[in-house]
Amino acid sequence: MPLHVSPDCPTACRQASAYLTECVASVLKGKDHCTIALSGGSTPWPMLAEFFAQPLPWTKIHLFQVDERLVPEGAPERNWTHLSPLIPSGLVIHPVPADPSICADELVNIYETDLIQTCGHPPVLDLIHLGLGSDGHTASLAPDDPALRIEDRFVAAVASFRGHSRLTLTRPTLNRGRHRVWLACGSDKQDALARWIARDRTIPASGIGTLADPFFCDRSAVPLDARNRFPVLGSRMPH
């Protein structure tokens, strides 16, 4: 399986950024645009800063969000607040609406319509970036949340997860993506990563994608009993 272990989180972020860049460039060799969806959290910002600094044809790239907290525009809890300063000129953006006057169900309809108009019906994203929570969640799909069981929608509302209502792409939408890339760092991810490797379906992340998806992490995230199986690759970009 393509578990790419770096000595530290900054190196993992650089390697994941290189993969994102290569994947987008490859997609654009075969079609006139590329659709990507990015996750938030605390880990990916160095990766995204480096990715957005690359000389890609940004006017041909559409950016969606994997998930977002339903908080007002500019709020520090909102992923887009941290993402927007990094965005290069020309990138076609599709942020989750930040209008507190619109109910969550209507926001689902709005974002789902935007996704369909750009990515088809059913929508197929070219590249999806995902993270892994210490509890095994990914996107805003938390263990035992009803959103996990949604099969007939492309976007779902999550009533409350870690203190906020959210919008998230559903499991079928994430699985339909042509490419996925994972990034997780820190020793608190060891248990979740062990369960992801084992395809333990009691955690949401194991129901997304396959073990063929490239997963970038630092050494501290690798379960202790798996470190001989997945040696540190250092700064070399794995192929």
CA–CA dist 207, 197 (Å, integer): 11
Burial class (CB in 10 A: 0-12, 13-18, 19+), 193: buried
Render pLDDT for 199-220 as a digit per residue (tens, 0 to 9). 999 999 999 999 999 999 999 9
pLDDT at 42: 86
Quick check: 168 pLDDT over 90? yes
Look at residue 1 in the predicted model and tell me its pLDDT.
59
222-230: average pLDDT: 87
Tell me which of 162 and 235 has the higher pLDDT. Answer: 162
Judged against a pLDDT cut of 50, whether residue 235 lies above it is answered with: no
Find residue 37's DSSP bridge partners: 64, 128
237 falls in which pLDDT band (50, 70, 90)?
very low
| Other CB atoms within 10 Å distance of the CB of residue 189 | 23
- Confidence at residue 179, expressed as pLDDT on a 0 to 100 scale: 98
Each residue of 99-124: pLDDT tens digit? 888 999 999 999 999 999 999 999 99
Of 168, 151, 152, residue with least CA distance to 160? 168
* The pLDDT of residue 162: 80
Asked if residue 43 has pLDDT above 60, the reply is yes
Residue 238 has pLDDT above 70, yes or no: no
Given the candidates 3.40.47.10, 1.10.3720.10, 3.40.50.1360, 3.40.50.12170, the CATH classification of the domain at 10-180 is: 3.40.50.1360
Given a contact cutoff of 8 angstroms between Cβ atoms, the answer to whether 58 and 88 are in contact is yes
Per-residue confidence (pLDDT) for residue 236, from 0 to 100: 40
Q: Is the pLDDT of residue 88 over 80?
A: yes
